Amino acid sequence: MRIAVLPALAALLLGAAPTALFAEASEAAPATVAEVLPAITVSTVGKRHLTDIVLASGLIAPIEEVQVAPLIEGQQIEALLVDVGDTVTAGQVLARLSVSTLELQRSQLAATVAAAKAAVAQAEAGLIESESTAAEARRVADRTAKLQAQGTTSQAAADQAAAAATSADAGVAVARQALESARANQTLAEAQAANTELQLSRTEVTAPVAGVITARNARIGAIASAAGQPMFTLIRDGALEMQADVAERDLLRLAPGQKATLTLSGAAAPLTGTVRLVEPTIDTASRLGRVRIVVDASETVRAGMFAEAAITIAEHEALAVPVTAVGATDGMTTVMKVNGDTVARVEITSGIRDGGWVEIVSGLSEGDQIVTKAGAFVRNGDRINPVPAASN
């Protein structure tokens, strides 16, 4: 009996014990291992206030620059009454020219006009005298002709009277021509006098429009001339604009009346402006177009300053997603939409891009969830563990 038990005990110690231990370990292990899904940041589609802008840069310049030149030449500049930076009104005197030569001409022409008037009066008297003589000669000729018809006077006398009447008529014609000539001389003298008066009035160089003087090239003692540089240059009404260069692809989106925000170096705050003109041509070398923006507070800027402009094209509330969520696949604009824990690629139509956000025109609805970063390592149909993005 003891002999039979010992082999069994030995077998249990040497072989049966390991087998039993392995059996217990196998029973303790779980039947399946839980699947671990990658944690992916997702964003919720919602409405945001979006602004579509076009960026441009350029220089501040006058809307209209006016050059002032003397209207008469050859006169010396005697006085300059304004300087650079002065604000002037329309018609204000800017400079005075010498009048001594013109004053002398006016005196001479006044005498010429008086002489011409006297000549006219004399010609008028001569015409009256000639007409009277002609009338008397005609009456004599008529009487002589009647007498000759009655036989009381000779034919020679009648012919002589008729010739005298014809001569007197010719004298009237000459007198009338002399009167016309005298009147023409009077008109010429008066026109010359008026021209001298006009030149005297133009010795005062005036501002044609209101504005701000930006250049003064005139010098006292110099001879005024319309050739060469103008005496003065001014900015009409002091109005300035920004002449901004715009990329070719953006030019057709611009239109007069659009608002703009201008940023200038050294300015305490941005300025506002309005698009005045979109030029109809594009530079063939730079492929840039030009837009002119009127500066609202032009007194705070100076011509020649560099500025950057953000022109507002559109502004509204719309569905938007982060720009990082938008990708491109096979020529389509797409996002990775999250349905539960599964990702699906969805085609969308995008609109305004404002900073880090893109407008969704179609393809998504408010409240949908999408993968925040389109470049994340997920593919169409992958399962993920969605992690909401921090709100911003």
pLDDT band at 230; cut points 50, 70, 90: very high
CA–CA gap between residue 380 and residue 347 (Å, rounded): 12
Which among 237, 317, 307, 305 is positioned nearest to 272, based on CA atoms? 307
The residues, ordered by sequence, that sit 6+ positions from 296 with a Cβ below 8 Å of its Cβ are 271, 272, 273, 274
Q: What confidence tens digit (pLDDT) does each residue in 208-221 have?
A: 999 999 999 999 99
Q: What confidence tens digit (pLDDT) does each residue in 317-364 have?
A: 999 999 988 988 888 899 999 998 899 999 999 988 888 899 999 999
Window from 28-32, 62-66, 356-360 with minimum mean pLDDT = 28-32
Q: Is 200 in contact with 158 (CB distance < 8 Å)?
A: no
Burial class from Cβ neighbours inside 10 Å (0-12, 13-18, 19+) for residue 203 reads buried
Average pLDDT, the chain: 86
Model pTM greater than 0.85?
no
State what percent of residues in the chain have pLDDT above 90.
Answer: 50
CA–CA gap between residue 14 and residue 7 (Å, rounded): 10
Q: Does an H or E element contain 4, and which?
A: helix 2-11
Q: Is 95 in contact with 77 (CB distance < 8 Å)?
A: yes
CA–CA gap between residue 262 and residue 292 (Å, rounded): 12
State what percent of residues in the chain have pLDDT above 70.
Answer: 90
Quote the pLDDT of residue 1: 37
Quote the pLDDT of residue 146: 83
Give the count of beta carbons closer than 10 Å to the beta carbon of residue 321. 26
Q: Is 61 in contact with 240 (CB distance < 8 Å)?
A: yes
Which among 355, 269, 286, 357 is positioned nearest to 319, based on CA atoms? 357
